[in-house]
Structure 1
Amino acid sequence: METNSYNSAKQAALKKYFSRMNEMQQEAVFTVNGPVLVLAGAGSGKTTVIVNRIANLINFGNAYFDTSREGSSDDIAFLRDYAEGKTDDFDTLRDTVAVDPVRPWNILAITFTNKAAGELKERLSAMLGEEALNIHASTFHSACVRILRSEIEALGYGKDFTIYDSDDSQRMIKNVMGELDVSEKQLAPKAVLSEISFAKDKMITPAEMRADAGQDYRKKMISKLYALYQERMRAANALDFDDILVFTVELFEQFPEVLEKYRNRFRYIMVDEYQDTNHVQFKLVSLLSGGHRNLCVVGDDDQSIYKFRGANIENILGFEEQFEGAKVIRLEQNYRSTQTILNAANSVISHNNSRKPK
């Protein structure tokens, strides 16, 4: 067996298969194990990388970097022919090089919007066919709702819980304010809900909010409203948008066997737009990836614009400290803008205080 010749021929063949991508994009595709941070600037083809990385996981697994598999002289000859474009026999390529290919249902790909999740599913279907149907590609909230529909009884709720939209939540908080004789002139219902939402993003309980309020009358009152709001929501077997994430994290923290079940299910996790994640979302991906550590996040600290909504830029800036041994891959080739525009943008962005160089 010619192991060294096989490995070099295998890598050349895989590079040929993913030849539409540049070198750094290919590195992000081939690096499948352990924590990975892909810093993807605007227009750098990050969705292409996500789609192709998932395809590589399913078709080839850890083939590119693995050195355990040996190949025959016929294997080496085929791989060299493939790399040189003399054959495009995909099935033989997969059979010749695949190492621990990943089952589609063991992949969780998280995006921030339903539109982005829909686009990801479409592109995966175009590349993988029916196999794409078994990949869990969804928003944070959709993924958590699916988990809670199966597991929420452990937290004392029924599986047929109702999800309140903003109008439902506003009606509930108005009822709660009425119960505590708090006038809407004194505290605006939307402002109260906003404070409660920020507390949930940071996983602050009503009791913790009250303890932190000190002598601040407004904060003390909002903490009371928060506590009663949660009681009334539980009585109605209802969750608001923030509860969906918070309860999933609480479920994983309080019931290790449930966490283990989903760690085994989602063995490879990818998160897009990681710069926009908040504290509870960080907790969620940290818990889910805690066993296998196969977490790949894609984002750009220069595009973080949702601090007002609770996004924590430290999630992306501190990724290497939070996930030991993390590999950082920078996608710096722009496919969308002219050099003049890029020069102007980079000149402005360079003045940001908290950012990673690229």
Structure 2
Amino acid sequence: MDNAARPPRATWQHGGVTSATHSTLFPPVPDTADAVLDGLDPEQREVATAMRGPVCVLAGAGTGKTRAITHRIAYGVRSGIFPPAGVLALTFTNRAAAEMRGRLRDLGVGGVQARTFHSAALRQLQFFWPAAVGGQPPRLVERKVQLVAEAAARSGLRLDRNELRDVTGEIEWAKVTQTVPDDYPGVVAKSHREPPRGPAEIAQIYRTYEQLKQDRVVIDFEDVLLLMVGILQYRDDLAQKVRSQYQHFVVDEYQDVSPLQQRLLDLWLGGRDTLCVVGDASQTIYSFTGATPDYLLDFRTRHANATVVKLVRDYRSTPQVVHLANGLLSQAKGRAAEHRLELVSQRPAGPEPLYTEYADEPAEAEGVARRIRDLIRSGVPAGEIAVLYRINAQSEIYEQALADLDVPYQLRGAERFFERPEVREAMTALAGASVAGRNDALLDEAVDVPTQVRAVLGTKGWTAVPPKGSGAVRDKWESLAAFVRLAEDYVKARPDATLSDLVAELRARQEVQHAPTVQGVTLASLHAAKGLEWDAVFLVGLTEGMLPITYAKTDEQIEEERRLLYVGVTRARAHLGLSWSLSRSPGGRPSRRPSHFLDGLRPGSGSRARAAAGGAGGVERGPAPRKRTRRGPVLCRVCGATLTEAGEMKLMRCEDCPSDMDEALYERLRDWRAHQARELGMPPYVVFTDKTLMAIAEAVPASGPELAVISGVGARKLDRFGTDVLAICAGEEPEGADEEGS
């Protein structure tokens, strides 16, 4: 494949800089419209030059779909076919919209609206409300869950926190599928959904929730779409205004569109066919929210004259990873499987996927953490490694295992880069230095920009040598170090740049939320990993009952679980680990079995194993767990029952057994934790979880060794917080407590 046909790897990937060449970090703006097409492969070029009529792009994972559609928009604008303000590009997350805006900016295109469906609809609703209804539009409800809780209480129903979250999600599903409360029970029965409460109860909560909103003149995000549909459907004059503004539509991740979003899109189009959609039915993993791939799969039926382009050249993953991904889908069933794309890797060969079986969950977490440590030591950046799991509750044991090895990590979905306090301070300091730098010898214009940045950030906590550990101090250092790396890359691409130029670049990237890389292993659910990629990915907890999840009952639900695993596999560029454990806790009965999705793919799992997996790496037994202080089952110290839940094992007692916890001590520990979290700029649970604080308040340790044996403490947290905790347990004030109010 020649260089012109091989697109360079995307650089600003979903909130982080990947390890690309310096020339692609800050690419020159194309001089002409034709230059926009440089570097596209034949299929991507076909997408970029398909200017007329409906266009459907079927794009497999890692095939450069965002590159293709942004270059299509840029080519259309730069060649004068698309007026910039007449293009509306739609996607499903603010992150994806920000990335699209950033890429268009790099291609020299401004003025194009790249928004989520909700953002675009809200903007239009606020603009048209005075003309359509009169007065000011209703305010958006700030916390939907609280209103749902009140609706449940008024309906005579009591929901715990998890039920409340699930019922809220169920109401959202009903609204995006355009199901009213009275119809909800019947629709649920037909769709084979398993609601978190009885359908009649949820219908009542839903009905009361809608009444509460009406009484308080508030709306939720689903109402934004519904109201815009109503306005455009019944006010043709206002619909014509929208259509005169937007003549060309692009929809990314089209397999995730809901019936309500499709209805709004049809009204925006108004019968026109100036639409380009891109998607992959094999990556449909949000059906529980109302998303459906049917609109993507039926596109050619609805638009007989559509141009259809398939992108199957995978630039992300090695042949070994791609082979496993193709093998996984080859066993799939259903309509989406009939339209699967056979990916073809464009990368050199890499290591085989590694399958590992462990005795128990702690052994699995420790084994994965050690492999990650070894990868980092071999040169793989921590920020290019991810641990992906089915549910968020699985994260804690991996957080602990990584922390015990001093491996930095970050939880996906945490505070965005440019919103971190240290980042805001650094931006302010760099901006001030760019103005006043001539009065400082270190910031003299004769000194290169990276040196200037190091000098400024040195006053904010950056050092040439990173601090030890993976806590908040290291997190802050990594944020500042990201600026230093960015400055180094920036001047290599633009040697004549000044500090002021770099500050301008940072502000531009802040506006579109294109953050530089923070070096920490990513911990994320498989759903949250959609759209992201890493050099190394560890897929953990791959057992029956977890993937597929226990409550996936129908064929359609099980196939969606398979697609979820497919999404996880295709996040990996080179290194891929798949693991499972035979029991939950040490000494437990080894009753689990690996996910049947791996049957015929992992060696030894079926007669087709070698043929289907192409000889992929064998299943190995996990390394023997490190010597533990407790062997065999963990027993409740009150009643003697075997403990299996992680939270109970931390407390060393059943949840229902009486507690001898010192309540006053527990409250003092909580106050101390809140202060620490504020000081360190981290969520309280990262300091210690509630369960760990309860265990401390029950044990009342008097020494470091006594504190160290409490689950959730570990060597790193003992070293960092041990002195304070032991002081509090002894009834003394921790160091620095007198400064709390200063």
Query: Post-superposition shift, 1:213?
Result: 8.2
Say which is worse superposed, 197-206 or 321-330, in terms of deviation. 321-330
The answer to whether residue 208 in structure 2 is matched with residue 189 in structure 1 is no
Equivalent position to 1:223, from 198, 203, 210: 203
| Post-superposition CA distance 1:151-173 (Å, at most 9, x none) | 235775853432224xx222212
- How far apart are 1:178 and its partner, in Å? 3.1
How many angstroms apart in 2 are the aligned matches of 1:231 and 1:257?
30
In the alignment, what sits opposite 2:55? 36
Aligned equivalent of 2:126, options 145, 149, 157:
149
Is 1:22 the counterpart of 2:49? The answer is: no
Aligned residue number for residue 114 of structure 1: 94
Compare CA radii of gyration and give the structure with the larger one.
2
SS, match of residue 313 in structure 2: coil
Shift in CA distance, 157/228, structure 1 to aligned 2, threshold 3 Å: farther
Which of 283, 301, 310 aligns to 1:321? It is 301
Q: 1:56 matched to which residue of 2?
A: 75
1:100-133 Cα distance to aligned partner (Å, 9 max, x none): x2211100011221111111111111212xx51x
Matched position secondary structure for 1:110: strand
> What does residue 138 of structure 2 align with?
161
Aligned to 2:151: 176
Match of 1:198 in 2: 173
User: In structure 1, how many angstroms separate the alpha carbons of the residues matched to 2:181 and 2:304?
Assistant: 33
1:14-67, CA deviations, whole angstroms, 9 ceiling, x for partnerless residues? 766513111111111111222111011111111111211111111225xxxxxx
1:321 deviates by 1.5
Match for 2:129: what amino acid?
I
Distance in 2, Cα, partners of 1:317 & 1:136: 26
Please name the residue that 1:255 is paired with.
235
1:103 to 83, 98, 109: 83
Partner-residue secondary structure (3-state), 1:109: strand
Residue 274 of structure 1, CA deviation: 0.9
TM-score by length of 2: 0.38
Q: Which amino acid aligns with 2:127?
A: S
Please tell me whether the aligned partners of residues 158 and 237 of structure 1 are also in contact (alpha carbons under 8 angstroms): no
String of CA shifts for 1:250-294, please: whole Å, max 9, x gaps: 322232322222122111000111111121112222222233211
**Range with greater deviation from structure 2 (110-119 or 250-259):** 250-259
Structure 2 CA distance for partners of 1:254 and 1:205, relative to 1, 3 Å: farther
Match of 1:79 in 2: none
Distance across 1 between alignment mates of 2:217 and 2:230: 17
Determine which structure has greater relative contact order: mean sequence separation of CA pairs < 8 Å that are 6+ residues apart, divided by chain length: 1
Distance 1:212 1:303, change over 3 A: closer
Contact 2:151 2:208 in 1 (8 A): yes
- Asked if 2 retains the 8 angstrom alpha-carbon contact of 1:278 and 1:312, the reply is yes
- Alpha-carbon distance change, 17 to 144 in structure 1, aligned in 2, over 3 angstroms: closer
Distance 2:137 2:124 in 1: 13
**4+ residue runs of structure 1 moved beyond 4 angstroms?**
13-17, 153-158, 210-214
1:288 and 1:208 mapped to 2: Cα distance? 27
What letter corresponds to residue 207 of structure 2 in structure 1? A
What amino acid maps onto 2:55 in structure 1? Answer: V
Compare the two structures and name the one with the higher helix fraction: 1
Counterpart secondary structure, 1:329: strand
> How many residue pairs are counted as aligned between the two chains?
300
Secondary structure of the 1:118 match is helix
Out of 176-185 and 41-50, give the one that drifted further.
176-185
Q: Is the contact made by 1:148 and 1:159 (CA closer than 8 Å) also made in structure 2?
A: no
Amino acid at match of 1:299: G
Q: Distance in 2 between matches of 1:175 and 1:313?
A: 35
Contact 2:239–2:267 (8 Å) recurs in 1: yes
| 1:124 maps to which of 104, 115, 119 | 104
Residue of structure 2 aligned with 1:349, choices 320, 326, 329: 329
Are the aligned partners of 2:89 and 2:115 in contact in 1 as well (CA < 8 Å)?
A: yes
* Structure 1 runs not aligned, ≥5 long: 1-12, 62-100
Distance in structure 1 (CA, Å) of the matches to 2:34 and 2:123? 37
**Cα offset, 1:190, TM superposition:** 3.1
| 1:290 equivalenced with 2:270 (yes/no) | yes
Equivalent position SS for 1:108: strand
Measure, in 2, the Cα distance between the counterparts of 1:19 and 1:108: 24
- Quote the Cα distance in structure 2 between the aligned partners of 1:119 and 1:53: 15
**Stretch deviating more after TM superposition (174-183 or 298-307):** 174-183
Amino acid aligned to 1:57: G
The one-letter amino acid paired with 2:158 is: S
Secondary structure, aligned partner of 2:148: helix
1:47 to 59, 66, 69: 66
CA deviation string 1:312-333 (max 9, x = no partner): 1212111112333222101111
C-alpha RMSD of the superposition: 2.7
Percent of paired sites with the same residue: 31
Give the AA of the match of 1:326.
A
> Would the alpha carbon gap of residues 189 and 264 (structure 1) be closer, same or farther in structure 2, given more than 3 Å must change?
same
Instruction: Tell me the TM-score normalised to structure 1 length.
Output: 0.76
Change in 2 beyond 3 A, CA 1:263/1:240: same
